[in-house]
Amino acid sequence: MPSNKLKSVDFEVHGDVQGVFFRKYTRDTARAHSCVGSVSNTYRGTVIGVVQGLPENVEFMKRWLQTTGSPMSDIEKCVFTNEREITALQYQSFKIR
């Protein structure tokens, strides 16, 4: 039985992740797994964001960000920071910034 606890994690994806619809696929996958947060490109050529939701859904997104991404992306690594339990979601949906 899933717990009612919520989880939040920040991420930065390195590799060939800009210009390959990475943000769109991240948004669509997060929404399909009932996660909220945001995703954006950086000037360093990486993609950063935050994912929030039920722990099992956030864990799914972490695996997806590390191994799958968009079909044309080439992920070198994904760094997760600020992983924590939260009491309420800080976003209403998952948005591209």
CATH 3.30.70.1150 assigned to domain 6-96? The reply is no
Q: How many Cβ atoms from other residues are within 10 Å of residue 92's Cβ? A: 7
Question: Is the separation of the CB atoms in 52 and 91 below 8 Å?
Answer: yes
pLDDT of the residue at 1? 40
pLDDT tens digits, 64-75: 999 999 999 999
- Cβ neighbours of residue 5 closer than 8 Å, sequence gap 6 or more: 54, 55, 85
What is this structure's pTM? 0.94
Positions marked active-site: 23, 41
Q: What integer best gives the mean pLDDT of the chain?
A: 96
Q: Averaged over 23-43, what is the pLDDT?
A: 98
User: Domain ranges in the chain?
Assistant: 6-96
E strand or H helix that includes residue 25: helix 22-32
Q: Mean pLDDT, to the nearest integer, of 47-52?
A: 98
